[in-house]
Chains A and B, each alone.
Chain A
Amino acid sequence: EDQVTQSPEALRLQEGESSSLNCSYTVSGLRGLFWYRQDPGKGPEFLFTLYSAGEEKEKERLKATLTKKESFLHITAPKPEDSATYLCAVQAEGGSEKLVFGKGTKLTVNP
């Protein structure tokens, strides 16, 4: 069974304090790994898709990396507006487009 585990469950940072969020996964052949941002009471907002180990993608203060067992979301010099829950999801090879999500990491950035 495909599984995604995110850590930590919650993270508090001071503005400007860089850190990383972890997403560990087990999947029967990875088709893609996805990062989303979710604000309270809203739907997930797409951030990145990673397809193969060694791949990296960046967007503003966020950088996502991928290995064969895990992915990291690095946040450089975060700002209060980066506060949100960050979700990781995997899609397995095969015909299904099903996404399996982790429980997320709730990030709070204090000014």
Chain B
Amino acid sequence: GAVVSQHPSRVICKSGTSVKIECRSLDFQATTMFWYRQFPKQSLMLMATSNEGSKATYEQGVEKDKFLINHASLTLSTLTVTSAHPEDSSFYICSARDLRGGRGQFFGPGTRLTVL
């Protein structure tokens, strides 16, 4: 199957700092990538859809000025959590759709963010 990587896998930061998370499709090109957030024992919740070369589309209730998304190439999307606070601590996961694999989305390994 298609391979999606994320970096870093784990980050701990102080309140008020910004954190950048990278999502890469390793063996395919992805015009669209997706960013999800998962709290313990909860569903994956879509935060935004990242489109290569254009602005991201955010889900209702997600602050676009706080969660900055950039999709600069067909294999890389980044999520920047600006001025992070403890309530932003969560598991952030990206996914990408490999057109060769039908309609399935392939997920990265996730990034555990802890804000102190």
Contacts and interface: CB of A to CB of B under 8 A. Distances in A.
Contacts, number: 62
Nearest to A35: B104
B27 to A, nearest CB: 14
A46 B112 contact: no
Interface residues of B, number: 28
Interface centre among B93, B97, B104 (most CB of A within 10 A): B104
Contacts of B59: 98
Interface residues of A, number: 25
Contacts of B93: 43-44
Nearest 6 interchain pairs by C-beta? A43-B107, A101-B43, A101-B44, A43-B110, A44-B107, A43-B109
Interface of A: 4, 31-32, 34, 36, 41-46, 49, 51, 87, 89, 91, 96-104
